[in-house]
């Protein structure tokens, strides 16, 4: 039952020679063989994974110094470049594309000893909060295969949630780590923008600032996420916005107490309609945070706009980026573009340069308002999502609590932390009456990654249910 172990536990077992990298790799390959067909989480396997595991085993036999991820099979989202392993971006246009180099994050994971076991499913170019595409089809929720895994890192979250891999990489430009983490019952962490270099868009490196999409992790625990951050952070000449490594030894600092940490709780940011059951489950955690030594205050938030205005602002950033990046693909090969991505591109083309730049003052206003809140509080808690997982064939619900909403966007309470680039996580806190996971969103101010991870760890250690897997 190796799926029960976290990364640090597996590495410790391998260093003690109680397990070998080959045994660990073979175990998870068998899990994939037995269960992946049910959920469609992994779409490409690394043909050389056993050979790489043997090399990792030889290093242990020789008692060489090894990294924090030595011998760990890791899944990489199919938006992230992997040398010699097919990377499709979820699009038929790239169904045969094999990169000749790794993204920096993959280079660093390999340097730490990780072994890429395969690539995980994503909607084309990560454009929506569910996971489906014309190339591989839908990824389903391991807790109920009639439901969505969420997206766009849905394959990564489902793979971790089903115990097919111990950890997976993802990226998050509108909630794409936190959304599927919430739906699949795993821990999802998006660090401060720039903490981990973004290096896929080398042809347009400066374009990567909008709209704050960055790498992160899907894992079973905040400890594993901290190890991931430690080993992937730091500047790169391939990303002009990458930051110095400021989260040094964060995995060693997680056990500090939370006494005096000031928490603000918002059910809806003053914007969203939230399912009553979800709100109740999330709010029931507040007394537990007080038990951990935090002060907790429910707050009202006002960004000077309604939900429709905020979503129009946020999607304008996203849609214009989609139009710039994929407009030629739509023009030349429209049959390779899904209806939802086509609609996004077409909307994006309607925005001119002046209109696009006029989004900046709105973004600044949101940043300033969030700084006002963080002047009084250390962390902000909220539901990650307004609803539990829904039918995998849908883009989202059309009603919440009987009120009509936009099915594409109005259930995602994640966008604010992409707008600002703040660190944010989704922590699994329980299940709905129908057995679907519910996530709590935890966010801190810029550079407060350690606090987000430390708070997540404290709650997870004391209150989280352990070792539950759907199959």
Strand pairing partners for 42? 120
**CA dist 189 → 171, 384, 462 (Å):** 9, 12, 19
Residue 40: partners with Cβ closer than 8 Å, 6 or more residues away: 121, 136, 137, 138, 139, 140, 155, 158
Per annotation, catalytic residue among 77, 110, 147, 190? 77
Q: Please, are residues 223 and 8 in contact by the beta-carbon 8 Å criterion? A: yes
Match 């011998």 to its residue by tokens.
71
Match 């790489």 to its residue by tokens.
52
Active site residue 152: yes
Active site residue 253: no
Closest by CA to 240, choosing from 215, 207, 288, is: 207
Compute the distance between CA of residue 361 and CA of residue 278 in angstroms, rounded to an integer: 33
Per annotation, catalytic residue among 91, 176, 182, 426? 176
Per annotation, catalytic residue among 149, 152, 182, 208? 152
Compute the distance between CA of residue 190 and CA of residue 215 in angstroms, rounded to an integer: 7
Active site residue 77: yes
Compute the distance between CA of residue 45 and CA of residue 36 in angstroms, rounded to an integer: 11
β pairing state of 140-141 and 167-172: unpaired
β pairing state of 295-298 and 262-265: parallel
Which pairs count as long-range contacts for 98-105, CB under 8 Å and 24+ apart, including other chains?
Answer: 103/199, 103/200, 104/197, 104/199, 104/236, 104/238, 104/239, 105/80, 105/169, 105/196, 105/197, 105/199, 105/215, 105/232
Compute the distance between CA of residue 294 and CA of residue 297 in angstroms, rounded to an integer: 10
Burial of 340 (0-12, 13-18, 19+ CB in 10 A): middle
Q: What are phi and psi of 167, to 5 degrees?
A: -160, 155
- Report, as residue numbers or ranges, the catalytic residues: 77, 152, 176
């Amino acid at each position: 039952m190796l799926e029960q172990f976290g990364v640090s536990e597996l590495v410790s077992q391998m260093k003690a020679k109680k397990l070998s990298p080959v045994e660990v790799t073979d175990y998870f390959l068998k899990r994939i063989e037995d269960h992946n067909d049910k959920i469609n989480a992994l779409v490409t396997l690394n043909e050389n994974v056993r050979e790489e595991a043997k090399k990792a085993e030889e290093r242990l036999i020789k008692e060489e110094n090894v990294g924090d991820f030595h011998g760990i099979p890791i899944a990489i989202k199919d938006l992230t470049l992997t040398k010699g392993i097919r990377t499709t971006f979820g699009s038929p246009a790239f169904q045969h594309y094999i990169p000749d180099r790794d993204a920096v994050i993959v280079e660093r994971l390999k340097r730490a000893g990780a072994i890429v076991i395969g690539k995980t499913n994503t909607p084309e170019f990560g454009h929506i909060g569910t996971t489906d595409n014309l190339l591989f089809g839908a990824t389903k929720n391991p807790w109920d295969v009639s439901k969505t895994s969420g997206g766009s890192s849905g394959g990564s979250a489902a793979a971790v949630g089903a115990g097919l891999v111990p950890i997976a990489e993802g990226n998050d430009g509108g909630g794409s780590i936190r959304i599927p983490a919430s739906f699949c019952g795993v821990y999802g962490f998006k660090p401060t923008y720039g903490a981990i270099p973004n290096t896929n868009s080398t042809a347009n490196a400066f374009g990567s600032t909008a709209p704050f999409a960055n790498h992160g992790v899907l894992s079973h625990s905040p400890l594993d996420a901290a190890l991931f951050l430690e080993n992937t952070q730091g500047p790169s000449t391939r990303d002009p916005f990458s930051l110095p490594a400021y989260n040094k030894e964060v995995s060693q600092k997680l056990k500090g107490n939370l006494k005096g940490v000031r928490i603000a709780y918002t059910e809806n940011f003053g914007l969203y309609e939230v399912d009553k059951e979800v709100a109740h489950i999330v709010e029931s955690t507040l007394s537990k945070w007080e038990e951990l030594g935090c002060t907790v205050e429910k707050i009202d938030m006002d960004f000077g706009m309604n939900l429709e205005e905020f979503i129009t602002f946020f999607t304008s950033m996203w849609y214009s980026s989609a139009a710039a990046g994929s407009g030629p693909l739509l023009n030349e090969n429209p049959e390779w573009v899904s209806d939802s991505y086509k609609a996004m591109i077409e909307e994006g083309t309607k925005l001119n340069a002046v209109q696009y730049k006029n989004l900046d003052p709105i973004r600044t206003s949101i940043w300033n308002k969030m700084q006002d809140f963080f002047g009084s509080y250390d962390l902000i808690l909220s539901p990650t999502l307004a609803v539990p997982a829904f039918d995998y064939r849908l883009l989202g619900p059309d009603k919440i609590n009987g009120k009509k909403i936009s099915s594409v966007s109005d259930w995602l309470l994640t966008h604010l932390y992409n707008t600002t680039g703040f660190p944010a996580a989704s922590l699994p806190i329980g299940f709905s009456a129908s057995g679907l996971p519910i996530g709590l969103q935890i966010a801190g101010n810029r550079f407060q990654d350690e606090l987000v991870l430390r708070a997540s760890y404290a709650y997870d250690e004391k209150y989280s249910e352990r070792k539950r897997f759907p199959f």
